[in-house]
Structure 1
Amino acid sequence: MKQRKFGNTGSSVSEIGFGAWAIGGSWGDVAESDAKSALHAALDNGTTFIDTADVYGDGRSERIIAEVLNERTGPRPFVATKAGRRLDPHRAEGYTAANLNAFVDRSLKNLHVECLDLVQLHCPPTEVYYRPEVFDAMDRMVVSGKIRGYGVSVEKVEEGLKAIEYPGVKSVQIIYNIFRQRPARFIQQAHEGGVAVIVRVPLASGLLTGKMTRETTFATNDHRLFNRNGEAFDKGETFAGVPYEIALDAVDEIRSLVPQNATMAQFALRWILMNEGVTTVIPGAKNAAQARANSEASELPPLSDSAIAVLRELYLKKIAPHVHHQW
Structure 2
Amino acid sequence: MATILSRRLGSNGPRVSAIGLGAMGMSDMYGPADEQESIATLHAAIDAGVTLIDTGDFYGSGHNEMLIGRALKERNREDVVISVKFGARRTPDGAFQPAPADTDPVAVKDRLAYTLRRLGTDHVDIYRPTRLNPNVPIEDTVGAIAELIQAGYVRYVGLSEVGAATVRRAAAVHPISDLQIEYSLISRGVEESILPTLRELGIGLTAYGVLSRGLLSGHWSADRQLTPGDFRAQALPRFQDENLKANLALVDALREVARSIGATVAQVAIAWVASRGPDIVPLVGARRRDRLSESLAAASLVLSDEHLSAIEAAVPAGAAAGDRYNAQLMAALDSEG
The alignment's TM-score, normalised by the length of structure 1, stands at 0.86
Instruction: Give the structure 2 partner of residue 187 of structure 1.
Output: 195
Instruction: Give the structure 1 partner of residue 148 of structure 2.
Output: 141
In 1, Cα distance between equivalents of 2:219 and 2:188: 22
| Matching of residue 95 in structure 1 with residue 89 in structure 2 | no
In 2, Cα distance between equivalents of 1:73 and 1:310: 39
Q: Which moved more, 1:141-150 or 1:99-108?
A: 141-150
Q: Which moved more, 1:41-50 or 1:94-103?
A: 94-103
Instruction: Give the structure 2 partner of residue 233 of structure 1.
Output: none
Residue 165 (structure 1) shift:
4.7
Kindly provide the CA deviation profile for residues 214-264 of structure 1, in whole angstroms up to 9, marking residues without a partner as x.
1011101111123235xxxxxxxx769x93222112111211111453111
Match of 1:150 among 144, 151, 157: 157
Letter in 1 for 2:243: P
Q: Which moved more, 1:23-32 or 1:295-304?
A: 295-304
In 1, Cα distance between equivalents of 2:12 and 2:175: 11
Kindly provide the CA deviation profile for residues 256-286 of structure 1, in whole angstroms up to 9, marking residues without a partner as x.
1114531110100000011115431111111
Residue 24 (structure 1) shift:
1.6
Match of 2:219 among 207, 211, 215: 211
Instruction: Give the structure 1 partner of residue 266 of structure 2.
Output: 265
| Matching of residue 51 in structure 1 with residue 54 in structure 2 | yes
Residue 320 (structure 1) shift:
7.8
Identity %: 23
SS in 2 for 1:295: helix
How many residue pairs get aligned? The number is 317
Residue 311 (structure 1) shift:
1.2
Instruction: Give the structure 1 partner of residue 331 of structure 2.
Output: none
In 2, Cα distance between equivalents of 1:14 and 1:165: 27
Instruction: Give the structure 2 partner of residue 301 of structure 1.
Output: 302
Instruction: Give the structure 2 partner of residue 14 of structure 1.
Output: 17
Instruction: Give the structure 1 partner of residue 329 of structure 2.
Output: none
Instruction: Give the structure 2 partner of residue 71 of structure 1.
Output: 74
In 2, Cα distance between equivalents of 1:140 and 1:294: 37
In 2, Cα distance between equivalents of 1:222 and 1:321: 18
Describe the shift of the 1:135–1:46 C-alpha distance in structure 2 as closer, same or farther (beyond 3 A).
same
In 2, Cα distance between equivalents of 1:129 and 1:190: 22
The alignment's TM-score, normalised by the length of structure 2, stands at 0.84
Instruction: Give the structure 2 partner of residue 234 of structure 1.
Output: none
Residue 322 (structure 1) shift:
5.3
Instruction: Give the structure 2 partner of residue 285 of structure 1.
Output: 286
Instruction: Give the structure 1 partner of residue 26 of structure 2.
Output: 23
CA RMSD after TM alignment: 2.9
Structure 2 gap ranges (5+): 91-95, 325-334
Instruction: Give the structure 1 partner of residue 243 of structure 2.
Output: 243
Kindly provide the CA deviation profile for residues 7-55 of structure 1, in whole angstroms up to 9, marking residues without a partner as x.
2336310111100011121111111111011111111211010000001
Letter in 2 for 1:104: L
Structure 1 gap ranges (5+): 230-237
1:207/1:248 contact within 8 Å kept: yes
